[in-house]
Structure 1
Amino acid sequence: MTRYPRSRRSLILTALAGCLLLVLSPLTAQAAVRATDVKTLTFNIHHGQGSDGRLDLERVAKVIEASGASVVGLQEVDKYFDARSNWVDQPAWLAARLQMHYVFAANLDWDPLEPGKPRRQYGTLVLSKYPIVDSRNTLLPLTPGREQRGLQEAVIDVDGTPLRFANTHLTTYNDGERQLQVNAIVDLLKDAAEPTMLVGDLNAIPTSTEVKTLTTHWTDTWRKVGAGLGFTSPALLPVRRIDYQLHSAGLTPKSASVRSTLASDHLPVAATYTLAASSRG
């Protein structure tokens, strides 16, 4: 057996250790990026009008900003809709203010009051710090004479991992209509290949048939990690939990909270999830 002087042996061992680190470091780096924490928020913003009656979209933006959310679902958003929101393009305004990507879904799409003016639209909005790579809006079943509702879906690239983020606002008026809307949502989302979130104002309490139908397919995040009753409506003295974040496998909830604010007639729900290793390609 060849024996080297001690100093030479040290150099050889150092070189071998360096080579081993070069081999292992890509594997270590790969392991390090396999889990991504994602902060989310759902908020019915009542077109920016607070529970104090004041229209203040900046106040809505500050609520979103303070939550630290990187993916946000908003309901009751106006786009050149009415004097009630000063004819503002709220999706574009919020996206610019928060420096986020966005996609807007118009469930109401009306002719302008004056020729040449933008169309009057009202619906849901997804904001994201991550790129939005695909989106669609599906109009949900409607009782004649009632307000059209929809399911907005956005596929978001979270550091290389696709997340399907669905945002909705179900009818206020009729349990039967709301159940039809829920059935349609299940059909649209149940076979999604990506880890999936469903957020929004469901206008139904946790014990309702509609919510029980949804939680057969997706987990109620609040039930897993929320503390307390999670009431969100009305904002000044909340007595009902009707705003939700639901999630599929591939997402592990870490925390959930209801944020206090006068920025709307609802309170927002914030959550944090880990996008697990099994959900990555």
Structure 2
Amino acid sequence: MRVVSWNIHWGCGKDGRIRIHAIIDVLRRLNPDVICLQEVAANHPELEGSATANQFKQLAGAFGGFHAIEHAPSEIYRNNVPRLFGNLILSKYRITQAHRHMLPWPADPGRSPGMPRGAIEVVLDAPGAKLRLVTTHLEYYSPLQRMAQVRRLRELHAEACARAHSFAVHPEMDAPYQLGLRPASAVYCGDFNMAPGAEDYQAWLAPGTDGALGLVDAWNACHPGQGRAPTAGLHGFPWPEKPECYDYFFVTEDLAPRVAAVEVQSETAASDHQPVVLDLTPGSDA
């Protein structure tokens, strides 16, 4: 199972031009089974390069054999036309559930107002066994908001683990109640806007006291003791000041032995972030 996570910066490259076809070309070369994208835009002419097209539809159309789930936490209406900015999952595997989570956005006076943030959670019929896949994009400017979002994601993770533990089928109930298993095993990915070892990074990976499966940084599981490849700050983009890692894959502890590879694709300059690729070996039932 190959998953690609990428903050595509609405397809805006170093020259300030939007080339969604360049994003699509890179993704096709990587040959993923699941694609997780952040900073996808629709009807935002004021963004650099003028993101007037509906990129959610463009990307879903380019991968017609994939199932598409979108979530735009930032949804602004002008002249009754929605301007969308958010996340997109495209999956070759069947999706049996989708949950769109809005994350906390507490007031933080003196900081940039930021924007609403969210996470998409899907249940996939992955090779061997179902698993949850969650992609998100956390706040950059406000550590207070980012920590609140980390805590909420931890709460949602604990909730999913508890529900998986107590799951039972109730065929006598109406169809909306028949969601099926929401497994504890999970992959989390996206632009977390936190540096390795930072306080919010440590809070995200801290041992739980609620019986939930522990979370593991997939890079460390695959590259123990090795330095981390930067995921932003390459190719001369003005941000950030120096190359840094903000984009991650995290897996539940039961999936850690299945992490075969985690790599940052550093060659492309189609976005101010680099795509990150996770390869998982099949589950034991495959």
Measured against the shorter chain, the TM-score band is 0.7 to 0.9
The alpha carbon displacement at 1:159 in A equals 4.4
Matches of 1:79 and 1:275 in 2, distance apart?
Answer: 36
- Unmatched 5+ stretches in structure 2: 108-112, 165-182, 207-213, 237-241
- Are the equivalent residues in 1 in contact too, given 2:2–2:34 (CA < 8 A)? yes
The alpha carbon displacement at 1:95 in A equals 1.5
Residue 57 of structure 1 pairs with residue 61 of structure 2:
no
Residue 218 of structure 1 pairs with residue 222 of structure 2:
no
- Unmatched 5+ stretches in structure 1: 1-37
Matches of 1:265 and 1:51 in 2, distance apart?
Answer: 7
1:137 maps to which residue? 100
Query: What is the identity, as a one-letter code, of the residue corresponding to 1:209?
Result: E
Identical counterparts, % of pairs = 28
- Are the equivalent residues in 2 in contact too, given 1:255–1:271 (CA < 8 A)? yes
The alpha carbon displacement at 1:88 in A equals 1.6
Residue 105 of structure 1 pairs with residue 74 of structure 2:
no
Map residues 1-281 of structure 1 onto 2, 5 A cutoff.
38-82=1-45, 84=47, 85-99=50-64, 100-111=66-77, 113-115=78-80, 117=81, 119-144=82-107, 145-159=113-127, 161-190=129-158, 191-192=160-161, 193=164, 194=183, 195-216=185-206, 217-226=214-223, 228-236=227-235, 239-251=243-255, 252-259=258-265, 260-277=267-284
- Are the equivalent residues in 1 in contact too, given 2:128–2:283 (CA < 8 A)? no
1:10 maps to which residue? none
Query: What is the identity, as a one-letter code, of the residue corresponding to 1:107?
Result: P
The alpha carbon displacement at 1:150 in A equals 1.0
**Superposition TM-score, scaled by structure 1 size:** 0.79
The alpha carbon displacement at 1:224 in A equals 1.6
- Are the equivalent residues in 2 in contact too, given 1:250–1:276 (CA < 8 A)? no
Alpha-carbon displacement from aligned partner over 1:51-96 (angstroms, at most 9, x marks no partner): 3322100111111111111112111011233354542221221121
SS at match of 2:147: helix
Alpha-carbon distance change, 171 to 133 in structure 1, aligned in 2, over 3 angstroms: same
Matches of 2:202 and 2:54 in 1, distance apart?
Answer: 36
Larger Rg: 1
The alpha carbon displacement at 1:160 in A equals 6.6
Matches of 1:73 and 1:152 in 2, distance apart?
Answer: 9
Tell me how large the CA RMSD over aligned residues is: 1.9
SS at match of 1:43: strand
**Superposition TM-score, scaled by structure 2 size:** 0.78
Alpha-carbon distance change, 154 to 277 in structure 1, aligned in 2, over 3 angstroms: same
2:211 maps to which residue? none
Query: What is the identity, as a one-letter code, of the residue corresponding to 1:244?
Result: Y
